[in-house]
Homo-oligomer: A and B are copies of this chain.
């Protein structure tokens, strides 16, 4: 029996629509196990680059009360060789696994993506949108042509679904359209937004990296808007991400056009958020009298 909450997105068959967002844990087998214990329907790894990356020294996060989080972890990750181990533990736990892939050139992305495919990962999420790791993100993702190149290179070579994770940028609809043309099966929208915090008593930027990515409640209305606009123009398969902290914030992304959602920052406050979201979504399905959550995808465009 297929449950009311099960969804298909970008070739993945998920028990329910709540996945974790890349970069919240997800870099070691132990992390994968912990994420699985949170109840996510699929596990997304930390962005993996070909070579290990140390990341930035602390401070790497600043919490802004009520508003969200600023982070500059700096794509710290153990490098591509970890991928098979991550896949293995996720398979053992019966969870689909999406390998988030980072790089500074199309061939670097392909390098990790190929290992992921070989290792038996269920999908690849190309991180085209990190706003604070120079050369590894939003510079690519805000340019339709560079994004096209990366996605094309990977989607042409690997058979598992390729998902493109995009960030806030001026030409988001155009970028989305190009990466879909290049072969992306789905889009994750959005990544963090470039921002900074200064400590006024010392006048110093708090993050060691100066700039970081803003996530959490602050970016939620922006994420909903991006999902809504991209869905309206292109009707692609979208995974919504940004400021999901409860069932309402998750539902907004789904109604705007997302087939699934990812949760990042909220895990800092609420480790049981998955169940909170699922209970709310189940009530919403009843409220609208529809058969399944899939009927509510993009519903705001139809009322």
Q: Which residues of A contact B (CB under 8 A)?
A: 64, 66-68, 70, 142, 169-171, 193-198, 200-205, 210-211, 214, 217-222, 224-225, 228, 248, 251-252, 255-256, 284, 287-288, 296, 299-300, 303
Which residues from chain B contact A198 at a C-beta distance below 8 Å?
A: 224, 228, 252, 255-256, 300
Copy total for this chain: 2
Q: Which residue of B lies closest to A250 (CB)?
A: B200
Residue in B196, B214, B224, B251 whose CB lies within 8 Å of A196: B224
Residue in B222, B248, B284 whose CB lies within 8 Å of A214: B222
* Subset of 7 A-B contacts with CB under 8 Å: A66-B67, A67-B221, A170-B170, A195-B225, A198-B224, A214-B222, A218-B219
CA distance A300 to B205 in the complex (A): 7
Residue in B193, B218, B288 whose CB lies within 8 Å of A217: B218
Known contacts A193-B222, A221-B218; is A252 also within 8 Å of B200 by CB? Answer: yes
Which residues from chain B contact A300 at a C-beta distance below 8 Å?
A: 198, 203-205
A202 to chain B, nearest CB (A): 7
CA distance A287 to B201 in the complex (A): 8
Q: Is there an interface contact between A196 and B225, defined as CB atoms closer than 8 Å?
A: yes
In addition to A204-B300, A204-B303, A205-B228, 13 A-B residue pairs with Cβ atoms within 8 Å of each other are: A64-B217, A66-B217, A67-B67, A67-B217, A70-B221, A198-B252, A198-B300, A200-B248, A200-B255, A205-B300, A214-B222, A218-B219, A218-B221
